A = this chain, B = another copy of it.
Amino acid sequence: MYSLAEENYIKSIYHLQQEAGKEVSTNAIAESMETKPSSVTDMVQKLAEKKILSYRKYKGVQLTEEGRIIAANVIRKHRLWEVFLVDKLKFHWDEVHEIAEQLEHVHSEELINRLDKFLGNPAFDPHGDPIPDAKGNFKNTEKKLLSELKKKQSGVCVGVKETSTEYLQYLDKKKITIGTKISVLGKEFFDGSMIIQVGRDQFFISQKIAENLYIQTA
């Protein structure tokens, strides 16, 4: 059984490895966890002893297979709880992250299996992120960023990259949610901004907006 602090480190390292690939630096971990590099070094050395990750001084860390499974399980719990909060308790998708951060650390395999079943074995969380199975396997759907679409292309919103409240509220205001169809009417090469169509509305979005929205094209 891993402590709350350990689980959070493992989860963060997992996510960083997804983005950056290969070895993850001490500083990167410290930044993502809002802690100091020296604290990271301590914890990372402890996790290395426990064979949850491999650590080479000054070179960064990489999760072992065991580490990856632990991370996937925490993520599985987080995302299942998010589904619960949105589907059953009618929370809004931009309100659930913090609560799920707490719920993800409740230890009980039976609980999470029953929750999974209760929710109808969902494959994606309310932000469109995939929910791994109990062994830590993700089904990966190939999704693009909206910013990668060209003029006249269209697709369906399947998730977000950025999950800040500000961003999610922006999407809300524009009536963009999981499943919303989006068409690119025009695209400016200079700054990557776009004119898009959502429902009956057409409006301008900046590149920053476009590169944080995942789209599944038909």
Contact = CB atoms under 8 A, between A and B. Distances in A.
Interface of A: 85, 88-91, 95, 98-99, 102-103, 106-108, 110-111, 114-115, 118
- Number of identical monomers bound together in the oligomeric complex: 2
A83 B108 CA distance: 17
A191 B23 CA distance: 71
Contacts of A85: 111
A106 B108 contact: no
Nearest to A103: B106
B106 A89 contact: no
A4 to B, nearest CB: 9
Contacts of A114: 89-91
A89 B110 CA distance: 10
Nearest to A113: B89
Contacts of A115: 89
Nearest to A91: B114
A144 to B, nearest CB: 34
A157 B100 CA distance: 37
